[in-house]
Amino acid sequence: QILMCPEHEMERVNMYCEICRRPVCHLCKLGGGHANHRVTTMSTAYKTLKEKLSKDIEYLISKESQVKAHITQLDLLLKETECNSERAKQEASQSFEKLYHVLEEKQSAALRAIETSKNIRLEKLQAQVEEYQGLLENNGLVGYAQEVLKETDPSCFVQTAKQLHVRIQKATESLKSFRPAAETTFEDFVVDTAKQEDILGDLSFHSNGLEIPEINEEQSRMYNKALISWECPGKTDSADIYVLEYHKLNKEEESVTWQKTEVCGKSKVLSDLDDDSSYAFRVRGYKGSICSPWSREVIMRTPPAPVFSFLFDDKCGYNNEHLQLNPRRTSVESMAGFPLLLGSERLQVGCYTTLDYIIGDTGIAKGKHFWAFHVEAYSYLVKVGVVPSNKIQKLFHNTHDVTSPRYEQDSGHDSGSEDAFFDSSQPCTLVTLGMKKFFIPAKPTAPKDPASRILPLPSCLGICLDCDRGRVGFYDAGRMKCLYECEVDCSGLMYPAFALMGGAAVHLEEAVTAKYREYHDSI
């Protein structure tokens, strides 16, 4: 039978389109849909395809033994799958049978307790019924009393009536203050299965093949919100979805109630956590009905107070010759350049030091607030703390900014006059940082050895100002641990204050937002 072109019914196919891999006619090539396609003659296509098909058939025939081996292997796999599925069904049934057995035991124990309580209550109520039936006329106590009243012998009557009167009085008091001998409700026997229902709702197949995720404590953060980030050891996203669970640590609570949220990615921002509280976090992966084991629980603590947001003030006392702000005003860096050298050139003795101050652009009037920042490891000298609004002018015009090290709080000189001068003259409350160290301010009662008040500089520092109590605390913001706390005069509007000297830099902690993780991943 002669093949005709499906597009040009009157034309025979006489060419082969190598692009579309189909026979075509000369009209298809001249002006049809194959005009720009590469074509070959039908005889050439016939020869080429026949050679390929012959080679493929010869290859399959030569591999017949291998094909038979694969078929045998697949037959074994079919049988193995059947056996394994039956074994899995049996194991699953045994697991559920165990649960049924536990539930049946619990049910029997609960019903026995209810039945025992019922019998005790019925006995008490029945005894009370019999007692009150004795108060009826011609019955029990009343009937006996009526018979005693018929006694005419005075001595016999007195002997009998004395004890009888006591019983009559007790019955009368009981009647006046009637109260059932037992409760009829069984409110104490209500079984609360809400938590167990949640657990059973999460019941799924456990697979060792699904990687256990690990919470990355370095990438996770606690600030205005909580950012919890995790990863898989194999760096592959083997799970379709993750479930993050967390609960607040409370010693008073006997049972733990986990809150959970489903996450499609590998991080989650939480905003419903309480301040100054510790939380436990764990995560597991799901792929269909299969789940991984839970990750190791990680404990993190929230800031001691709500986060206070501000930027560096580029107007009030800002020295642009010594300090450099980034465009967003979230980082400041001190530049030890020519102005510092020219200033020191005028001095022949002593040491020339200058502290360049910068404050936040927003003040605090009341309440408790917390903010965090990073100090670069190369920083030589940085001071951080708070300053009241009525002392800002004095801060930026402090005549002791150009002086000898003796007048610095942490100069290292063991002089009583030094501490007295600092306490009476400093316009703000600051602590000293530098050379990867945190210096706890000296006190008159403190040991003379300065090493006892020098701590390693945390990667992230925090300040908590409590205007209502007149206290300011300096924190390791990574662990939310207070390193030093002191009193502070909060009579005026309070501003975050920073001072830098030489090569130093301070970066404000960035607030956690829903897009925070995506932003840093893109970086």
pLDDT of residue 338: 56
Q: Is residue 76 a contact partner of residue 151, using CB atoms and an 8 Å limit?
A: no
Q: Is 420 exposed, middle or buried (0-12, 13-18, 19+ CB in 10 A)?
A: exposed
pLDDT of residue 344: 55
**Distance separating alpha carbons of residues 29 and 33, to the nearest angstrom:** 7
DSSP 453: G
Q: What is the separation of C-alpha 6 from the centre of its chain, rounded to a whole number of angstroms?
A: 66
How many beta carbons lie within 10 A of that of residue 146, not counting itself?
11
pLDDT by 10s per residue, the chain, length 523: 678 888 888 888 888 998 888 898 888 888 777 888 888 988 898 898 899 999 999 998 998 898 999 999 999 889 988 988 898 888 889 988 998 999 999 999 999 999 999 999 999 889 888 877 766 655 677 777 777 787 777 878 887 777 777 777 777 777 777 778 888 888 888 888 888 887 787 676 665 567 889 999 999 999 999 999 999 877 555 788 899 999 999 877 667 788 989 999 899 999 989 999 999 999 998 887 778 888 999 999 999 999 999 999 988 888 888 889 999 999 999 876 555 555 555 555 555 457 889 999 999 999 999 999 999 999 989 999 999 998 888 877 754 444 333 334 444 434 333 333 344 446 678 999 988 999 988 876 666 677 778 999 999 999 999 999 999 999 999 999 999 999 998 888 999 999 998 889 999 999 998 654 544 444 4
pLDDT of residue 205: 66
Q: Is residue 336 a contact partner of residue 354, using CB atoms and an 8 Å limit?
A: no
Residue 174: CB partners within 8 Å, gap ≥ 6?
A: 131
Q: Is residue 42 a contact partner of residue 49, using CB atoms and an 8 Å limit?
A: no
Count Cα neighbours of 353 within 13 Å in the Cβ-side half-sphere: 19
**Distance separating alpha carbons of residues 130 and 171, to the nearest angstrom:** 12
Structural domains in the chain, sorted by start: 214-301 (2.60.40.10), 323-400+426-508 (2.60.120.920)
pLDDT of residue 472: 95
State pTM to two decimals.
Answer: 0.57
- Show the tokens assigned to 112: 């026995």
pLDDT of residue 164: 77
